[in-house]
Amino acid sequence: MTDTITSNIEKLNELEKRMSAYDHAISLMYYDGSTCAPKGTAENRASSMTVLTEELYKLSTSEETVKLLEQLDKSKELLSVKDRRRVYLLLKELNEMKKIPMEEYVEYEQLLVIADDVWHKAKDESNFELFRPYLEKIFETNKKFALYIEPDKDPYDHCLSEYEEGLNKKTLDSFFLKLRNGIVPLLKEISNHEQVDDSIRHGFFPINKQEELSYYLMKLIGLNPDRVGLSTTEHPFTTSLGSHFDERITTHYFEDDFACSMYSVIHEGGHALYDTGSDDELAYTVLDGGLYMSIHESQSRFYENIIGRSRSFCEYIFPYLNGLFPEQMKGRTAKDLYRAVNKAEASLIRTEADELTYSLHVMIRYELEKRVMAGELEVKDLPEEWNRLYKEYLGIDVPDDRHGILQDSHWSGGLIGYFPSYALGNAYGAQLLNKMKQTVDIDKCISEGNFKSVNDWNRENIWKHGGIYTPSQLFDRIFGEEFNADYYIDYLTEKYKDIYGF
């Protein structure tokens, strides 16, 4: 490497460190707003976040930054894989950012802070009309920004590719069709069999005991308690503060069902394992903690479902639950738990859905986003369409907006195009399981409550690379083959045949 390149890389490190610091402050405010900030403080946060967002915008688009990145890009052949990728991504972000006028960008960030607050209120009151003007503005802005950045591309395709490079409607349409064709016949078959009794998860489970369970689970799956914190929120999420050295997960306790929070903790814990498993040298760079939500969800859903909802895991955790909730577990068995947490049933809430019906919830959101972005559906008609699709896909009636269109926090956070990541993540997870099984005795690890080999495999193959590779490059390295949804359909078929005995 020449001296100029070495000094430019040092400048880049310095720049990214400063960007991470702004990001740290912004994430911390968001985290505070979603966890413990008093209700009337959103405007105050929005005002500080505006200043920080402006500064971050200026920093990432300044002449100096442009010059530095362009210089590095000219000598990209001489850069390491890691640095070449950083330069590519930062330059891409910069070029996109420059196409959005700063005032509009800042105004949008401000809108999101208020929208999140309004969404909470609207959900509380089950009042979509309250949230509607904000959601209209969010969809409008996403469309407008997409066209600023890629005027010749379909705006929704642009949004999708923000969450996974190269992802588009065409790929997703055929993926979802395949999934639907695999899932619907299974659900039909299940409806002909005796329904599962899930009363083991219902009853009274004191929050302090559930909290104990959360910390137990975090330790069990291998999270470092010195670097991963836990708090409560309306809608569970995971966030890194500044770098993967400070990770926060959140959960939501329901006194009448311990399994909700239990699986939230394992799910968010999976995200945190991925983030904190990044190579330390990726800290304070754009590559830290991974870039693609589908890969992220493949990890969170892997721990939540493939591990957490497996027979072996239920057998392992049952004695602990029995000790924690002796009254409620009296006369119950690990098998009762296994069946209860895998009960396939059409339900209203995505985050509480079983593995089988889960992807149908995602498909509904995808259909709606696609049509709103294409101008075929108006935001004001969303609740009605939502309810109609729940009837069509899942056969159920939505009683109110709180249990319908207002249930997720994604749209209020501006995350248009995010939902498909969950379904893709599920399917990626099944393909990963297949590969991992060739070298790791996963069942034995789970039965012994020792996740070291599983975590080592994931760290080596996925976590440590952060955002260095695109999902298809990562698959190439791991599998030597392309993504294939058949693994997921086979996994679901085998599992549900076992549970329902057909």
Of the pair 33, 269, the CB lying nearest Zn ion is at 269
Which one of 35-43, 139-147, 300-308, 389-397 is the stretch in contact with Zn ion (CB under 5 A)? 300-308
Nearest distance from C-beta of residue 457 to Zn ion, angstroms: 20
Could you tell me the two tokens for 299? 């990890």
Mapped to the 3 state alphabet, what secondary structure does 261-326 carry?
HHHHHHHHHHHHHHHHCCCHHHCCCCCCCCCCHHHHHHHHHHHHHHHCCCHHHHHHHHHHHHHHCH
Q: Is 196 left (phi over 0), alpha (psi -120 to 50) or beta?
A: beta
- Beta-sheet pairing, 243-251 with 238-241: antiparallel
Compose the 138-177 pattern: x for residues touching Zn ion by CB under 5 A, - for all others: ----------------------------------------
CB of 451 to Zn ion, least distance (A): 19
DSSP state of 257: B
Please give the structure tokens belonging to residue 26. 């912004």
Nearer to Zn ion, 300 or 426 (CB): 300
Dist. CA 109–CA 174, nearest whole Å: 34
Which residue, 407, 313, 299, is CA-closest to 353?
407
Site string for Zn ion, 405-444 (x = CB under 5 A): ----------------------------------------
Applying CB under 5 A, the site for Zn ion has a residue count of 1
In the set 16, 164, 247, 268, the catalytic residue is: 268
User: How are strands ordered across the β-sheet holding 243-251?
Assistant: 228-232, 243-251, 238-241
Considering the complex, state which of residue 141 and residue 300 has its C-beta at the smaller distance from Zn ion: 300
- Please report how close the Cβ of residue 247 comes to Zn ion at its closest, in angstroms: 14
Window of 249-257, 293-301, 371-379, 454-462 that interacts with Zn ion by CB under 5 A: 293-301
> Which span (184-192, 292-300, 435-443, 471-479) binds Zn ion, by CB under 5 A?
292-300
Q: How far is the CB of 271 from Zn ion (least distance, A)?
A: 6
Q: How big is the chain, counted in residues?
A: 502
Contact 463, 277 (CB under 8 A): yes
What number of other Cβ atoms are within 10 A of residue 352's Cβ? 16
Compute the CA torsion angle 363, 364, 367, 370 (nearest 10 deg): -100
Query: How far is it, in rounded angstroms, from Cα 103 to Cα 83?
Result: 31
Residue range at the interface with Zn ion (CB under 5 A); choices 97-105, 121-129, 294-302, 440-448: 294-302
Of 298-306, 366-374, 441-449, 488-496, which segment contacts Zn ion by CB under 5 A?
298-306
Helices 471-479 & 293-301 angle (0-180, nearest 10): 50
Q: Which of residues 96-125 bind Zn ion (CB under 5 A)?
A: none
Residue 217 CB, nearest distance to Zn ion (Å)?
Answer: 16
Q: If you search the block for the tokens 């996403």, which residue do you land on?
A: 142
Query: Quick one: 300 or 409, whose CB is closer to Zn ion?
Result: 300
Q: Kindly state the smallest distance separating residue 410's Cβ from Zn ion, in Å.
A: 11
CB of 416 to Zn ion, least distance (A): 17
**C-beta of 352: minimal distance to Zn ion in Å?**
14
Quick one: which of 98, 63, 91 has its CA closest to 76?
91
Q: Quick one: 156 or 358, whose CB is closer to Zn ion?
A: 358
Tokens representing residue 387 in the block: 């309810």
Which CB sits closer to Zn ion, 142 or 300?
Answer: 300
Enumerate residues 18-47 that contact Zn ion by CB under 5 A.
none
Q: How many CB atoms within 10 Å of residue 355?
A: 21
Q: Which residues of 334-346 are buried (b: 16+ CB within 10 A; e: fewer)?
A: bebbbbbbbbbbb
Q: Which is nearer to Zn ion, 268 or 336 (CB)?
A: 268
CB of 162 to Zn ion, least distance (A): 17
Looking at the Cβ atoms of 134 and 411, the one nearer to Zn ion is 411
Q: Does 300 engage in binding with Zn ion (CB under 5 A)?
A: yes
Catalytic, 268? Answer: yes
Strand, coil or helix: 140: helix
The residue nearest Zn ion at its CB is 300
Stretch that binds Zn ion, among 25-33, 103-111, 145-153, 295-303 (CB under 5 A): 295-303
**For Zn ion, the closer CB: 243 or 300:** 300
- Listing DSSP states for 196-240 in one string gives P--GGGBS---HHHHHHHHHHHHHHTT--TTTEEEEE-SS--EEE
Instruction: State the CB neighbour count (10 A cutoff) for residue 146.
Output: 23
Enumerate the active-site residues: 268
Binding residues for Zn ion, rule: CB under 5 A, are 300
